[in-house]
Amino acid sequence: MTNDIAHTPTKMYLPAKVLLEEGVIDRVGLEASAMNLGWRALLIYEDTRVFDAVSSLASSLNRVGMRYVCCRVSGNGRGVPTLSKVWEVVKLALDERCDFVIGLGSRATINLAKAVAAVMGGSDLEDLGEKARIEGAAPLVVVPIIPSSGSEFSGSLELFDEDRGVMLHYLSHSLYPRLVLVDPLLAEYLEFERLTLSIPEILVNALEAYTSRECSRFVELVVEEATRALLRVEAQTLKLPVNSGVVRELCWAGLCAGVAVGLAGGGACSALARTISAMYGVHYERAISALLACWLYMVSPEVESRLEQLARATGVVPPSSAELITRLLSLLRGLNLPITLLDLGVVRVRELDLVVEHAWTYGHYDMERGVKPLDKLAVKRALRLSAEGLLLDAGRSLGVWDANSE
């Protein structure tokens, strides 16, 4: 690829406005008013720990004469909302005649806010399933605790259909937020485990975007910036009490990786993680952490030159794909996160055929988006190595990561 960004074709569709600043949550009312989003907001939040943030946000709306209705929701262990929860919250929004939606919290809250906004904008309740066409949505404001999922900056939406036990994934320009407010001070409301779980999701967003066939030079630049920020977050620095500088690095990395994956799209790692989260009820972020090494093994050596370019751009020494992967896996291991399916402890080898078929059925586009077309047999083989605890040795023997990696 050329290094001259000015002469590289680039197509972008982004949120109308993104603000990254400490204390920016106090400006949500002014910003929403200036953008004419409406005068009655549905404020969705997930955790009682964010009451102070909810209070600040509500005060900001009151100062400009806006009304609001609060809706606290509980998590389901998967990190994505259920269809039944969408219907429940939509009824509240319609009964209260809300004009726009604010989602404050984690990926589950943001996905729920997107789904509710879509229905408020005209999507048929009965059609919000696997084959839904989302062609309109109410204005949406997103206030992530840590911008790790990528959905904050994209037209992506994920829901869990509890009746069928499957994860549903949608893409629509109508789902892009109108306003995204990233406030590093909100990280104090996160449990430490939730903070560490943001790292593998940011990392996979960045790497999938960088190795996508739809990667542009602009995407390369923002992924390189996200990776530099992540490499500055060493495992020993992410401990209680969390340093504010580390939180700012994570917010910046998440913003850059989120923009990148919104433009270039996700890949097989995230598609498989959605499947495992749906089938086994584990958090998506833990699943994606356990799958990262497996995915890199699947797509090697086709992505080696791309990751070597990323290593050079981010100052990794020696500038090799194997050294970069080793450092990133060491970061996850240092945070006591799973890096194989054996570490995750829920996926049974005899069920791998079902896992792969599920991923291809509900995420076939992401499974085939990367620079290396994947086939089901190769995916099953890699998953089996990971589930049996043989993946790290297999990767070392092929030079996917360094011989001294744990």
- Cα dist from 349 to 353, 380, 396, whole Å: 9, 10, 22
Bridge partner list, 205: none
pTM of the model: 0.88
* pLDDT tens-place string over residues 192-234: 777 888 999 999 999 999 999 889 999 999 999 999 999 988 7
What average pLDDT is seen over the chain? 87
Exposed, middle or buried, 64 (CB in 10 Å: 0-12/13-18/19+)? middle
Q: Which residue has the tokens 């700012």?
A: 248
Q: Which of 358, 294, 283 is nearest to 329 (CA)?
A: 294
Question: Letter for the amino acid at 179?
Answer: L
Q: What is the pLDDT of residues 107-159, one digit of tens each?
A: 889 999 999 999 998 866 455 555 566 778 999 999 998 888 888 888 888 88
* Tens digit of each residue's pLDDT (9 = 90 or more) over 366-399: 887 777 778 899 999 999 999 999 999 999 988 8
End-to-end CA distance of the chain: give it in Å, rounded.
33
Question: Is residue 46 very low, low, confident or very high in pLDDT (cuts 50, 70, 90)?
Answer: confident
For domain 191-398, give the CATH superfamily: Dehydroquinate synthase-like - alpha domain (1.20.1090.10)
Domain ranges of the chain: 17-187, 191-398
Class of the CATH domain delimited by 17-187: alpha beta
Cis peptide before 318 (omega within 30 of 0): yes
State how far the Cα of 278 lies from the Cα of 326, in Å rounded to an integer. 29
